[in-house]
Amino acid sequence: MSQADLLAQDPVFQLKGSMLAITVMELAHNDLERLDAQLTEKVAQAPAFFSNTPLVLALDKLPEGEGELDLAQLMALCRRHGLRTLAIRAVRESDVAAAEAMDLPVLPPSGARERPIDPAPPKKVEVKPAEPEHKPARVVTTPVRGGQQIYAQGGDLIVLAAVSAGAELLADGNIHVYAPMRGRALAGIKGNTKARIFCQQMGAEMLSIAGHYKVAEDLRRDPLWGDAVHVSLSGDVLNITRL
């Protein structure tokens, strides 16, 4: 067998299953003007949440009496607010036809339960935090995959394996990641301003201490991006220093 024949048999791709965190926007009314105004308000509350967020547009709950939906205009509106439409969920023939004309995947109505999410950051309450109850650190030894959320209540969180993009770490105390950190880490979530974040390789989507945060866009500009770092809070500013 020639070298060309061997090369032709070498696989070029591999199909893999994946659990991705995708937001579903379920439209209750065909009113793009009101949608634009309400999205503008939401983006102002939590701009990090609306940065290139993958989106499924759920149109299957739209009332029949509100006329046909301009899908192209709707997608352009979402794109202006940082929402990237991957597919639609629809049953009406007009919506399905519009999606197919734009080569956009159409998903059937979902039978799974979906929970509403509020991207707004928690409101800060100017009260003296109560003395935290001491609890042993929570230790995670396996990789944290996209879509997973791990919370260390009342103490520190220690992760000894890689944290993938789309994963979320939360702790009332400190967060330690002794591996590449590509997801989101929120320390001191109940107002502990003394909490710290330590990671062996900073590649995070978001780092937050006591509600003060930096997102990937800011973190990538930091000269310590990709390095081992220590993150602390000084006033309202996150300080990132080399470990």
Q: Give the C-alpha separation, 20 to 166, whole Å.
A: 7
CATH number of the structural domain spanning residue 50: 3.30.70.260
Per-residue confidence (pLDDT) for residue 117, from 0 to 100: 55
Pairing of strands 168-171, 53-58: unpaired
Q: Which residue has the higher pLDDT, 65 or 116?
A: 65
Closest C-alpha among 209, 211, 189, 191 to residue 199: 209
Confidence of residue 16 (pLDDT cuts 50, 70, 90): low
Q: Is residue 53 part of a domain?
A: yes
Across the range 94-112, mean pLDDT stands at: 83
- Give the per-residue pLDDT at 4: 60
Same domain, 103 and 172: no
Beta bridge partners of 168: 149, 184
- Checking if the pLDDT of 10 tops 90, the result is no
Give per-residue pLDDT as tens, 154-195. 999 999 999 999 999 999 999 999 999 999 999 999 999 999
pLDDT at 53: 80
Residue 121 falls inside a structural domain: no
Q: Does residue 130 or residue 63 have the better pLDDT?
A: 63
- pTM (2 d.p.): 0.47
Q: Kindly state the tokens that stand for 113.
A: 């339960």
Domain-embedded: residue 193:
yes
Report percent pLDDT > 90 for the chain: 45
Q: Using CA atoms, how far apart are residues 173 and 191, in angstroms rounded to an integer?
A: 10
The rounded distance, in Å, linking the Cα atoms of 1 and 180 is 43
Tell me the pLDDT of the chain averaged across its residues.
Answer: 84
Of the pLDDT bands very low, low, confident and very high (cuts 50, 70, 90), residue 111 is: low
- Same domain? For 82 and 170 the reply is no
